Amino acid sequence: MKLRNLIIAALILLFAIACSSNNEEQQEQAAIPAGNHKVEVLEVLQANAYTYLRVDENGKEVWMAVTKMNAEEGDILYYKDSFEMKDFQSKDLERTFESILFVQAVSPTPFGSPQMPKDVKSAHSNVKPQTKTDIKVEKAEGGISIGELFAGKESYSGKTVKVRGEVTKVNLGIMGRNWIHIQDGTADGNNYDLTITTDREASVGDVVTFEGTVTVNKDFGSGYSYEVIIEEAKVIANSKS
């Protein structure tokens, strides 16, 4: 009789613990603002511009790419916006990912929560590199400066222009194109950094002359939004660093 009572008491205790655990998990999920994805980091690969994370999301393993950041196995991260690329080749890692999510931003706390940090890592090109005060690049013959382009953006919209600058940031092979940021030392207010999309490659520090079509207020979605961008640009000249 005593043994049976002990077994019943143990089962009741285990049931109570299980219910408590489930309630805590449900409360935690309810406290996470809608739209958040919670993942646990399983593996970290560092490249030049990106950090590649193999993560577990609800029992499913996926690869994610974010702007270069510090991360360790076991970290819990949250993200919202992403887009998937199939058969993505990372030249830095010399590896092809069958499927990978390019994530707009990650945070150690849920987006929209009071504890969310202000320095959330963004993965995409709409985040400008720091202005480099030592850059002074003469504009190309027959071309315009970055400051002139931003100041007169409406008049240049839809037109083909030539612009030269020093490469300050490069993201390769995103959405089927390369994203290259240049600066020439000129500016219109806080607009000093110009994004170029092209099928050509360049390295940070190169001085490159591009020719392409100006687009104003372009929103590609997934975090790619630009006041001014030059698309499908050709490389006219490249002075390697």
**Token code pair at residue 116:** 């969310």
Output the pLDDT for position 223.
56
pLDDT at residue 7 in the model: 64
Q: Which two tokens mark 184?
A: 């020439």
Q: Are strands 177-183 and 105-107 parallel, antiparallel or unpaired?
A: unpaired
Q: Average pLDDT in the 19-33 region?
A: 52
Backbone angles phi, psi at 48, to 5 degrees: -65, -50
The domains of the chain are located at 37-122, 146-239
User: Which pLDDT score is estimated for 69?
Assistant: 82
Alpha helices (H) along 44-195:
146-151, 153-156
The predicted structure's pLDDT at residue 169 = 85
Distance CA 213, CA 228 (A): 10
User: What are the structure tokens assigned to 236, written together?
Assistant: 């006219």
Take residue 143 and report the two structure tokens written for it. 């071309």
Q: Give 214's strand partners.
A: 230
Q: How far does CA 198 lie from the centroid of its chain?
A: 18
Q: pLDDT confidence of 25, banded at 50, 70, 90?
A: very low
8 Å CB contact between 51 and 105: no
Give the CATH number of domain 37-122: 2.40.50
Architecture of the domain delimited by 146-239: Beta Barrel (2.40)
What confidence tier does 5 reach under pLDDT thresholds 50, 70, 90? low
> How confident is residue 215, by pLDDT bands cut at 50, 70 and 90?
very high
Inter-residue contact 216 to 157 (CB < 8 Å):
yes
> Which pLDDT band holds residue 63 (cuts at 50, 70, 90)?
very high
